[in-house]
């Protein structure tokens, strides 16, 4: 079918990628090596290597990428206050470039001609995977089985698996799900109709708000240069911070999102997301920025965050524009150091206090009890800023008089 001799496959061990593994061997006559990324997802990866080898893989790698993902992908995105279409915290999007990087790394190590993924031809993930691979290794080819084969339904996939002796879990999956340290996403089933409420079964990380504790939980998070470094006074590694905050926020019902978004490929889709750590960190980070960042820098950052978020969502992590934006974001975060204390209660995050050695807040200027501020200065400030308004008012009078 082609001159491809060795393929590195992004492999989860589920139905789709197990079928893809066997299909690649048959369709391409190629050696297939699997790569499974441990990104802190709740799934137990025990046995995934054995299953890949049993299904026909020549080698099977299970890579612990948790700390790398948190430090080099999640934290830079959080420093940028990235949020797509004002709501989505990019939990799936940010996992794709690190998986693509792992595929390329193994492909280089093993001398592979191509990499392969299990993303469908409808979604964003195919774009994210392939743009990342092209940016990192334009000489390595990408195989996308969903754009080549005729197995276009779960029934067809199941039949193929049965014919080839591929183990299929007996329990049926209600949703198409993706999970990593940061979030879990749910699509499919009743969620395909935006007019339907989500079933109660699509809760994994966040308890329903009505089941959250009736007493608030207090928490402190310390930041250095925009990165969270400690929870409740205990310093932790990047991944451990994400894991700890996921548990704390999740048990308080924080981080649940149900939205219809615009996919890069052109269609709208409805998804339910649980991102407890991301939602909590976004709120606390923004609160700390209020005392640490210059007004104009904050305003520019917020405008650029929109472009940054689009770059991440659309798959352009390894792009010159994202790297340039990151340089600005990181510069803006140099003084975002301090602590935020907050109350967590039934889905809400309520900052109570914030301190920073780089605070721009002046109590002497803000106080109602005197201070060095000269109230007379405000008259000239207002007069100069109203100059153009008064001129425009005169112009309108002339126009109305014609």
Residues 136-181 pLDDT 10s: 999 999 999 999 999 888 789 889 999 999 887 766 678 888 999 9
Residue pair 275/181 in contact (Cβ under 8 Å)? The answer is no
Mean pLDDT estimate for the chain: 94
**DSSP 8-state code for residue 266:** S
Looking up tokens 């329990």 gives: 171
Residue 402, pLDDT above cutoff 70: no
Residue 2, pLDDT above cutoff 80: no
What the chain holds in terms of domains, given with CATH numbers, is 6-77+94-172 (3.40.50.620), 177-293+335-355 (3.90.1260.10)
The token duo for 288 is 């700390």
Question: Helix and strand tally (H, E) in the chain?
Answer: 14, 14
Residue 340, pLDDT above cutoff 90: yes
- The reply to whether 402 belongs to the active site is no
pLDDT band (50, 70, 90) for residue 363: confident
What pLDDT is stored for residue 170 in this prediction?
64
- The reply to whether 388 belongs to the active site is no
What pLDDT is stored for residue 111 in this prediction?
97
Residue 270, pLDDT above cutoff 70: yes
What pLDDT is stored for residue 228 in this prediction?
98
Residue pair 263/123 in contact (Cβ under 8 Å)? The answer is yes
What pLDDT is stored for residue 108 in this prediction?
98
What pLDDT is stored for residue 155 in this prediction?
84
Best CA proximity match to 4, nearest among 156, 150, 148? 148
Distance, in Å, from the CA atom of 82 to the CA atom of 324, rounded to the nearest integer, reads: 15
What's the N-to-C CA distance of the chain in angstroms? 78
- The reply to whether 125 belongs to the active site is yes
Better-predicted residue by pLDDT, 274 or 201: 274
> Of the listed 176, 305, 319, 359, which one is catalytic?
176
DSSP per-residue codes, 359-397: ----HHHH-SS--S--TTHHHHHHHHHTHHHHHHHHHHH
Mean pLDDT computed over 369-395:
89
**How confident is the model over 7-50, as pLDDT tens digits?**
999 999 888 999 999 999 999 999 999 999 999 999 889 999 99
Residue 1, pLDDT above cutoff 80: no
What pLDDT is stored for residue 171 in this prediction?
65
User: C-alpha 47: how far from its chain's center?
Assistant: 27
Mean pLDDT computed over 328-340:
98
What pLDDT is stored for residue 35 in this prediction?
98
Residue 374, pLDDT above cutoff 90: no
Residue pair 93/128 in contact (Cβ under 8 Å)? The answer is yes
Distance, in Å, from the CA atom of 290 to the CA atom of 288, rounded to the nearest integer, reads: 5
- The reply to whether 96 belongs to the active site is yes
Mean pLDDT computed over 104-130:
95
Distance, in Å, from the CA atom of 291 to the CA atom of 213, rounded to the nearest integer, reads: 31
**How confident is the model over 209-223, as pLDDT tens digits?**
999 999 999 999 999
| Range in 32-36, 99-103, 193-197, 263-267 the model is least confident about | 263-267
> Of the listed 12, 66, 93, 96, which one is catalytic?
96
Residue 372, pLDDT above cutoff 90: no
What pLDDT is stored for residue 121 in this prediction?
83
Distances (CA, A) of 47 to 107, 110, 289, 297, 337: 23, 22, 44, 50, 43
Distance, in Å, from the CA atom of 166 to the CA atom of 164, rounded to the nearest integer, reads: 6
Q: Residue 111 region, left (φ>0) first, then alpha (ψ -120 to 50), else beta?
A: left
What pLDDT is stored for residue 341 in this prediction?
98
The token duo for 214 is 């009736």
Residue 97, pLDDT above cutoff 80: yes
pLDDT band (50, 70, 90) for residue 373: confident
Distance, in Å, from the CA atom of 246 to the CA atom of 279, rounded to the nearest integer, reads: 9
What pLDDT is stored for residue 335 in this prediction?
97
> Of the listed 18, 93, 125, 354, which one is catalytic?
125
What pLDDT is stored for residue 224 in this prediction?
98
Distances (CA, A) of 322 to 306, 307, 328: 11, 9, 10
Share of the chain above pLDDT 90, in %: 83
């Amino acid at each position: 079918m082609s001159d491809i001799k060795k393929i590195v496959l992004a492999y989860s061990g589920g139905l789709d990628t197990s079928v893809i593994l066997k299909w690649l061997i048959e369709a391409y006559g190629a050696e297939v090596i699997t790569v499974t990324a441990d990104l802190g997802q709740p799934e137990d990866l025990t046995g995934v290597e054995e299953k890949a080898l049993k299904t026909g893989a020549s080698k099977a790698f299970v890579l612990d990428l948790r700390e790398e993902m948190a430090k080099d992908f999640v934290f830079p995105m959080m420093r940028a206050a990235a949020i797509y279409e004002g709501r989505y915290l990019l939990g799936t999007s940010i996992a794709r470039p690190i998986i693509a990087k792992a595929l390329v790394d193994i492909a280089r190590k093993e001398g592979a001609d191509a990499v392969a993924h299990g993303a469908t031809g409808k979604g964003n993930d195919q774009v994210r995977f392939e743009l990342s691979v092209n940016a990192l290794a334009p000489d390595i080819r990408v195989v996308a089985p969903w754009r080549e084969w005729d197995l276009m339904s779960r029934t067809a996939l199941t039949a193929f698996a049965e014919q080839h002796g591929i183990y299929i879990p007996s329990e049926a999956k209600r949703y198409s799900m993706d999970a990593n340290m940061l979030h879990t996403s749910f699509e499919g089933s009743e969620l395909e109709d935006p007019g339907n409420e989500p079933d109660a079964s699509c809760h994994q990380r966040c308890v329903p708000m009505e089941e959250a504790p009736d007493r608030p939980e207090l928490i402190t998070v310390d930041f250095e240069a925009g990165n969270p470094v400690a929870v409740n006074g205990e310093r932790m590694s990047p991944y451990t911070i994400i894991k700890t905050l996921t548990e704390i926020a999740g048990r308080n019902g924080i981080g649940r999102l149900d939205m219809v978004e615009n996919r890069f490929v052109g269609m709208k889709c409805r998804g339910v997301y649980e991102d407890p750590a991301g939602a909590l960190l976004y709120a606390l980070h923004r609160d700390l920025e209020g005392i640490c960042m210059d007004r104009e820098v904050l305003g520019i950052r917020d405008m650029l965050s929109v472009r940054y978020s689009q770059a991440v969502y659309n798959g352009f992590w390894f792009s010159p524009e994202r790297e340039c934006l990151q340089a600005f974001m990181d510069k803006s975060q140099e003084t975002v150091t301090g602590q935020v204390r907050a109350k967590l209660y039934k889905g809400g995050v309520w900052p109570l206090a914030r301190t920073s050695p780089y605070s721009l807040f002046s109590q002497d200027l803000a106080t109602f009890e005197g201070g060095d501020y000269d109230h007379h200065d405000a008259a000239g400030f207002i007069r100069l800023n109203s100059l153009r308004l008064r001129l425009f008012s005169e112009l309108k009078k002339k126009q109305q008089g014609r």
